[in-house]
Amino acid sequence: MNIGVDLGGSHVLAAVVSDDGTIEERSERELEDLSFDPVIDAMKFVIEDVIGKGKDKPSAIGVGSPGNIDPATGSVRYSPNFGWHDVPLGARLREALGLPVFVANDARCATLGEHTYGTGRGTANFVLLTLGTGIGGGIVSEGTLAIGSGAGAGEIGHHQVRATDGFVCGCGKTGCFEAQASGMGLIRHAVALQASFPKSMLVAGKPEKLGSKSIRKAAEGGDGHALAAWNRYTDDLARGLANVIAFVNPEVIALGGGVASAGDYMLGTVVPKVDALTTMAPKGSTRIAIATLGNDAGAIGAATMARRGGLTAKVP
């Protein structure tokens, strides 16, 4: 068994993962301070805690971290979420724990987990897209996870779907897929449409409750403002998905994250729109499905990376 660690923007999870992808033990901690040393301390705490709970000594540790990671050293080259530049994440954990440590981007780890044990199981060509605060993703092509020459492959969230009339993305570009089609994107569409629905209380009436889920539920209930936002949102989501199909034509695109919990309602809206935008790949040759591992995909994928000795997902 191995340890999988999922480092998020607000908390860290360490899990003991068996070789069949089952989480046997877990330890979690909220992150108060996002500077490097306190985050390393929190990671050491949850890893040592979960090793203490497990039956055997782990053979290796895999870590999924936001940002661009140097796969050779496990250093984080940059991570906008944490404000880190060139921090030796892998080296510090190796030194502290005395075990092999592999580090990779969190979304690539989640893709590896979902491909090996979740919705992508058994497919040679697979894409995971996690629709949360942002959009994380990863591409498996002919059985191998795409990493890219600078470990930047799979950054699907930052291809532009509305380059001239979209929202400004956290990365600085306009109309990135992430800005338009993440959970935050749905909220932005609702806010942008407020002027067209002056009597709507969707945004103005309950700002503390405004989340992608409340907008989607209101849309399901027939609220005009929410339906208009949902319609624009799914237009942009479909654009991005059709682009992914044009580039990769995977067997399955799995949608994870908060918005994807809409399940059939989401698929019922978006699949016909994707079909309409799919022009060269045979329509229906890519199935769009909901991811099954949920928030555990990252830790399970990180442990899978540790077990294989690296991120490359060629099925052994």
Return the number of other C-beta atoms located less than 10 Å from residue 306's C-beta.
26
Residue placing its CB nearer to Zn ion in the complex, 158 or 239: 158
Smallest gap from Cβ 255 to Zn ion, in A, equals 19
Count of alpha carbons within 13 Å of 47, Cβ hemisphere only? 29
Task: Using the minimum distance from each CB to Zn ion, give the nearer residue, 3 or 169.
Answer: 169
The span from the CA of 16 to the CA of 21, in Å, is 10
CB of 179 to Zn ion, least distance (A): 6
Number of separate helices (H) and strands (E) present in the chain:
9, 13
Nearer to Zn ion by Cβ, of 117 and 167: the residue is: 167
Residue linked to tokens 């779907």: 161
In the complex with Zn ion, which residue's Cβ is closer, 259 or 306? Answer: 259
Least Å distance, CB 146 to Zn ion, is 19
Beta bridge partners of 3: 16, 61
CA-atom Rg of the chain in angstroms: 20
- In whole angstroms, give the CA distance from residue 257 to residue 235: 18
Closest contact distance (angstroms) between CB of 298 and Zn ion is: 20
Q: How far is the CB of 105 from Zn ion (least distance, A)?
A: 15
CA distance 201 to 228: 14
d(C-alpha 184, C-alpha 192), whole Å? 12
**Based on CB atoms, which residue is closest to Zn ion, 79 or 304?**
79
Residues that bind Zn ion (CB under 5 A): 158, 169, 171, 173, 176
The number of CA neighbours under 13 Å toward the Cβ of 228 is: 15
CB nearer to Zn ion: pick between 127 and 156: 156
Transcribe 31-45 into DSSP letters. -S--SHHHHHHHHHH
**Minimal distance, residue 163 CB to Zn ion, in Å:** 11
